[in-house]
Amino acid sequence: MSRILVIDDEPHLRTLIQKFLLLDDHEVDLAEDGNKGLKLIEGNSYDLVITDIVMPEKDGLEVVMELKQLFPNIRIIVISGGGERLNIQDLLKMARLMGADRVMSKPLDFIKLQSAVREVLAMQS
Ligand SMILES: [Mg+2]
Protein backbone atom coordinates (compact mmCIF):
# COMPACT_ATOMS: atom_id res chain seq x y z
CA MET A 1 0.00 0.00 0.00
CA SER A 2 1.25 3.44 -0.89
CA ARG A 3 0.11 6.95 -0.13
CA ILE A 4 -0.99 8.83 -3.22
CA LEU A 5 -2.19 12.39 -3.74
CA VAL A 6 -4.35 13.19 -6.77
CA ILE A 7 -4.53 16.86 -7.83
CA ASP A 8 -7.09 17.74 -10.51
CA ASP A 9 -9.67 20.50 -10.83
CA GLU A 10 -12.25 18.16 -12.39
CA PRO A 11 -14.15 16.67 -9.41
CA HIS A 12 -15.53 13.75 -11.41
CA LEU A 13 -12.15 12.66 -12.75
CA ARG A 14 -10.50 13.17 -9.36
CA THR A 15 -12.99 10.81 -7.73
CA LEU A 16 -12.74 8.27 -10.53
CA ILE A 17 -8.95 8.10 -10.21
CA GLN A 18 -9.32 7.75 -6.46
CA LYS A 19 -11.78 4.85 -6.80
CA PHE A 20 -9.49 3.16 -9.26
CA LEU A 21 -6.43 3.48 -7.01
CA LEU A 22 -8.38 2.21 -4.01
CA LEU A 23 -8.84 -1.07 -5.91
CA ASP A 24 -5.08 -1.56 -5.56
CA ASP A 25 -5.38 -0.80 -1.82
CA HIS A 26 -3.62 2.54 -1.92
CA GLU A 27 -4.40 5.34 0.47
CA VAL A 28 -5.58 8.24 -1.67
CA ASP A 29 -6.03 11.94 -0.87
CA LEU A 30 -7.52 14.52 -3.23
CA ALA A 31 -6.85 18.19 -3.95
CA GLU A 32 -8.56 20.52 -6.41
CA ASP A 33 -5.62 22.74 -7.36
CA GLY A 34 -1.88 23.07 -7.00
CA ASN A 35 -1.96 25.28 -3.91
CA LYS A 36 -4.17 22.92 -1.95
CA GLY A 37 -2.13 19.97 -3.19
CA LEU A 38 1.19 21.45 -2.05
CA LYS A 39 -0.30 22.22 1.37
CA LEU A 40 -1.27 18.57 1.77
CA ILE A 41 2.16 17.46 0.56
CA GLU A 42 3.88 19.55 3.22
CA GLY A 43 1.89 17.90 6.01
CA ASN A 44 2.00 14.30 4.76
CA SER A 45 4.44 11.81 3.35
CA TYR A 46 3.22 10.74 -0.06
CA ASP A 47 4.94 8.18 -2.26
CA LEU A 48 3.33 9.46 -5.43
CA VAL A 49 1.60 12.60 -6.68
CA ILE A 50 -0.65 12.41 -9.73
CA THR A 51 -1.32 15.91 -11.01
CA ASP A 52 -3.28 17.56 -13.78
CA ILE A 53 -1.58 20.51 -15.53
CA VAL A 54 -4.27 23.09 -16.32
CA MET A 55 -5.85 24.17 -13.02
CA PRO A 56 -6.78 27.46 -11.34
CA GLU A 57 -4.55 28.93 -8.62
CA LYS A 58 -1.41 26.92 -9.21
CA ASP A 59 -0.93 24.72 -12.26
CA GLY A 60 0.61 21.27 -12.45
CA LEU A 61 3.91 22.40 -13.96
CA GLU A 62 4.50 24.66 -10.95
CA VAL A 63 3.59 21.75 -8.68
CA VAL A 64 6.18 19.55 -10.40
CA MET A 65 8.84 22.26 -10.11
CA GLU A 66 8.23 22.79 -6.40
CA LEU A 67 7.99 19.09 -5.70
CA LYS A 68 11.33 18.36 -7.36
CA GLN A 69 12.97 21.01 -5.19
CA LEU A 70 11.29 20.23 -1.87
CA PHE A 71 10.66 16.48 -2.03
CA PRO A 72 12.86 14.98 -4.76
CA ASN A 73 11.95 11.42 -3.74
CA ILE A 74 8.23 11.70 -4.39
CA ARG A 75 7.27 10.07 -7.67
CA ILE A 76 5.22 12.18 -10.08
CA ILE A 77 2.73 11.26 -12.80
CA VAL A 78 1.37 14.17 -14.85
CA ILE A 79 -1.93 13.95 -16.72
CA SER A 80 -3.29 16.55 -19.13
CA GLY A 81 -5.96 17.23 -21.68
CA GLY A 82 -4.13 20.26 -23.06
CA GLY A 83 -4.76 23.96 -22.56
CA GLU A 84 -5.91 27.05 -24.44
CA ARG A 85 -2.46 28.12 -25.53
CA LEU A 86 -0.51 24.88 -25.57
CA ASN A 87 -1.47 21.48 -26.88
CA ILE A 88 -1.31 18.26 -24.89
CA GLN A 89 1.98 17.06 -26.31
CA ASP A 90 3.82 20.33 -25.59
CA LEU A 91 2.50 20.46 -22.04
CA LEU A 92 3.42 16.84 -21.37
CA LYS A 93 6.88 17.37 -22.87
CA MET A 94 7.43 20.29 -20.49
CA ALA A 95 6.29 18.18 -17.55
CA ARG A 96 8.76 15.47 -18.58
CA LEU A 97 11.61 17.99 -18.80
CA MET A 98 10.75 19.27 -15.34
CA GLY A 99 11.12 15.82 -13.90
CA ALA A 100 7.77 14.02 -14.04
CA ASP A 101 8.36 10.26 -13.98
CA ARG A 102 5.47 9.55 -16.35
CA VAL A 103 3.12 11.69 -18.41
CA MET A 104 -0.29 10.70 -19.76
CA SER A 105 -2.87 12.40 -21.95
CA LYS A 106 -6.59 12.68 -21.23
CA PRO A 107 -8.98 11.05 -21.73
CA LEU A 108 -7.23 8.73 -19.32
CA ASP A 109 -6.71 5.07 -20.06
CA PHE A 110 -7.15 3.68 -16.56
CA ILE A 111 -5.36 0.43 -17.30
CA LYS A 112 -2.32 2.40 -18.51
CA LEU A 113 -2.57 4.60 -15.44
CA GLN A 114 -2.57 1.51 -13.24
CA SER A 115 0.60 0.20 -14.95
CA ALA A 116 2.28 3.58 -14.65
CA VAL A 117 1.43 3.77 -10.94
CA ARG A 118 2.87 0.30 -10.35
CA GLU A 119 6.02 1.14 -12.31
CA VAL A 120 6.82 4.40 -10.58
CA LEU A 121 6.10 2.97 -7.13
CA ALA A 122 8.47 0.09 -7.89
CA MET A 123 11.16 2.64 -8.86
CA GLN A 124 11.13 3.97 -5.35
CA SER A 125 11.84 0.76 -3.49
MG1 LIG B 1 -7.64 20.74 -15.41
pLDDT in tens, 64-123: 999 999 999 999 999 999 887 889 999 999 999 999 999 999 999 999 999 999 999 998
What is the tally of structural domains in the chain? 1
Beta carbons within 8 Å of 89's beta carbon, 6+ residues apart: 105
CA-to-CA distance for 65 and 48, rounded, in angstroms? 15
Please state the pTM of the whole predicted model.
0.95
Q: What is the pLDDT of residue 86?
A: 82
Q: Which domain holds residue 42?
A: 3-124
- Residue 99 CA to ligand 1 center (angstroms) comes to 19
- Residue 54 CA to ligand 1 center (angstroms) comes to 4
H or E segment at 30?
strand 27-31
CATH number at residue 40: 3.40.50.2300
- Residue 60 CA to ligand 1 center (angstroms) comes to 9
- Residue 26 CA to ligand 1 center (angstroms) comes to 23
